[in-house]
Amino acid sequence: MLNPKYGSISRATVDRLPLYFRTLRLIKSEGSDIVSSEELGRRIGVTPEQIRKDLAGFGAFGKKGVGYHVAELLNNIGVILGIDRRWNIGIVGIGHLGWALANYRNFASMGFHLSALFDQNPALVGQVINGVEVLAVSDMETTIADRNIQIGVITVPAPEAQSVADRMVAAGVHGIWNFAPVRIRVPETVQLVSEDLSVGLTTLSYHLRRQMP
Amino acid sequence: MLNPKYGSISRATVDRLPLYFRTLRLIKSEGSDIVSSEELGRRIGVTPEQIRKDLAGFGAFGKKGVGYHVAELLNNIGVILGIDRRWNIGIVGIGHLGWALANYRNFASMGFHLSALFDQNPALVGQVINGVEVLAVSDMETTIADRNIQIGVITVPAPEAQSVADRMVAAGVHGIWNFAPVRIRVPETVQLVSEDLSVGLTTLSYHLRRQMP
């Protein structure tokens, strides 16, 4: 049972939820039905106490000396994360990164449906990637409305990112996932997640530095 | 001054450090010399108390009623993250994602030097991306040694990821950044960071779900 009060989960817990989800999905794929807070903590890199606190916060309670039911926990977190429903996404900017994202298999398995691709390069328009045709950027507004695209993904160069975001917002997207290395601004009613690929590399260099002083 | 005991920073704080670094760099680029724990907390999405606790943990103390010196804090976090030194990286698998990473500008600005690119496709070998020539995968071992490559980036399809990792480790890399959607295993002496691009999208869907029940 989900805790109806899960609206009050702390931001730090929310930030860990995708990691919980990913880790639990992996554990499930390995064939485990039950996982202890110790094992989950070890894999995620937080203490078992933190795991118990996080999970209790949205009403998931493990059985003492047994652990958590993996499938149930995965389902609950999926509901909280909103990946129990379908989200239509559109990618603008089919350079290498946009192309790679269009082909990323994990999205579909998490409820994200690739609905449209856009690029301004006439040589790309009409090409089909992962079953989806690349459209001209000039078709963006009507397509976002027609295909009920809720999430726009920005993989254009930095100087173009803000204007693409503005057009997406005007066309009615509710969320933007930005990969352009620039800060973009959106109205408060639109959710924005900006990605910085160097974060993973930085985490790695931190650990290497400990090891190779 | 760095706290010489910063070896004892908690894992949760370490996970937030790249976010601190990224946010502080942005604040600096906006022209601010000083930042308060309130402002930093608002941008990062944690409480001001958490900010003060995190930063005190490695010896950075803001001035009451004033805030933190952005440049100094940025420098200290850079040292802790190990990005005050140069890391040579090699990317194996020049599909769209590998190609995009090879062109990612933020890496160089953080001390990561693109030293080599590898692919098994003869049509790619010899091409130059971002000033670096693509080599055959069979050249991987000697090149990793010759160019002192410490970090290997894996952007090959999932079925090939483990064998590439094994070869990288045997050739002497100290860290692996894995983008293949599969769990790979490395010896304990090698640091591994695995990337899952769906995490950002999941964070977005969480916030959208709150907004569109």
Summarize pLDDT for B162-192 with one digit per residue, the tens: 999 999 999 999 999 999 988 899 999 999 9
Name the phi and psi angles at B55, rounded to 5. -70, -35
- Assigned CATH for A6-81: 1.10.10.10
Residues 75-104, chain A, touching B (beta carbon < 8 A): 80-83, 85, 87, 89, 95-97, 99-101, 103-104
B73 Cα to chain A: minimum distance (Å):
16
Report in angstroms the alpha-carbon separations of A134 from A93, A148, A154, B2, B57.
10, 17, 14, 51, 49
Q: Label the pairing between strands B128-129 and B112-119.
A: unpaired
d(CA B144, CA B171): 6
- What percent of chain A has a predicted confidence (pLDDT) above 70? 94
Most confident of A28-37, A142-151, B106-115, B193-202: A142-151
Identity of the highest mean pLDDT range in A23-27, A70-74, A90-94, A102-106:
A90-94
Mutate one of A205, A210, A212 to test the B interface: name it (highest B CB count within 10 A).
A205
Contacts of B17 in chain A (CB under 8 A): 202, 206
A170 contacts A141 by C-beta, under 8 angstroms: yes
pLDDT surpasses 60 at A7: no
A77: closest CA among A60, A53, A52?
A60
What is the distance in angstroms between the Cα of A141 and the nearest Cα belonging to chain B?
Answer: 20
pLDDT over 90 (residue A186): yes
Percent over 70 (pLDDT), chain B: 94
pLDDT value, residue A4: 39
Nearest CA in chain B to A192: B204
pLDDT band at B7 (very low <50, low <70, confident <90, very high): low
Report the chain B residue with the minimal C-alpha distance to residue A87.
Answer: B205
* The CATH number of domain A87-198, selected from 3.40.50.720, 3.40.50.300, 1.20.1050.10, 3.30.750.24: 3.40.50.720
pTM score, two decimals? 0.81
Does A205 contact B174 at a Cβ distance shorter than 8 Å?
Answer: no
Measured distance CA(B193)–CA(B50) in Å, rounded = 25
Lowest-pLDDT choice from A39-43, B84-88, B196-200: B196-200
pLDDT (0 to 100) of residue B11: 67
* pLDDT at site B213: 59
Question: Where do the CATH 1.10.10.10 domains begin and end in chain B?
Answer: 6-81
What is the nearest CA distance from A64 to chain B, expressed in angstroms?
A: 25
Q: Looking at chain A, which residues constitute the CATH 3.40.50.720 domain(s)? A: 87-198
B61, B55 Cβ separation under 8 angstroms: yes
B62: closest CA of chain A, how far (Å) = 23
Q: What pLDDT score was predicted for residue B8?
A: 58
Q: Do A202 and B83 touch (CB under 8 A)?
A: yes
pLDDT at B137 over 90: yes
pLDDT of residue A1: 36
Query: What's chain A's average pLDDT?
Result: 88
CB contact at 8 A, B119 and B137: yes
Residue B165 DSSP class: H
Q: Is there a contact between A14 and B95 if contact means CB atoms under 8 Å apart?
A: no
Across residues A103-123, what is the average pLDDT?
Answer: 90
Give the angle subtended at the CA of A55 by the CAs of A202 and A9, to the nearest 5°: 75
B contacts of A189 (beta carbons < 8 Å):
211
User: Of B13, B26, B150, B154, whose CA–CA distance to B80 is shortest?
Assistant: B13
Contact A151 B19 (CB under 8 A): no
B83-128 pLDDT, tens digit per residue, is 888 899 999 999 999 999 999 877 887 789 999 999 999 999 999 9
pLDDT in tens, B138-151: 999 999 999 999 99
* Mean pLDDT on B64-86: 87
- Sort out which chain B residues have CB atoms less than 8 A from A212's CB and list them: 150, 174
Asked if A29 is an interface residue toward chain B (Cβ–Cβ < 8 A), one would say no
User: DSSP state, B63?
Assistant: B
Mean pLDDT of A46-60: 83
| Sign of the C-alpha dihedral computed for residues A121, A101, B130 and B143 taken in this order | negative
Residue A81 has pLDDT above 50, yes or no: yes
Torsion of CA A124, A126, A128, A133, to 10 degrees: 110
Measure the CA angle with vertex A18, ends A12 and A24; round to 5°. Answer: 120
Q: Give the position of tokens 């579909």.
A: A108
Q: What pLDDT score was predicted for residue B64?
A: 78
Range in A168-182, B53-67, B101-115 the model is least confident about: B53-67
Q: Does A187 touch chain B (CB under 8 A)?
A: no
DSSP state of A156: S
> B76 vs chain A: nearest CA distance in angstroms?
12
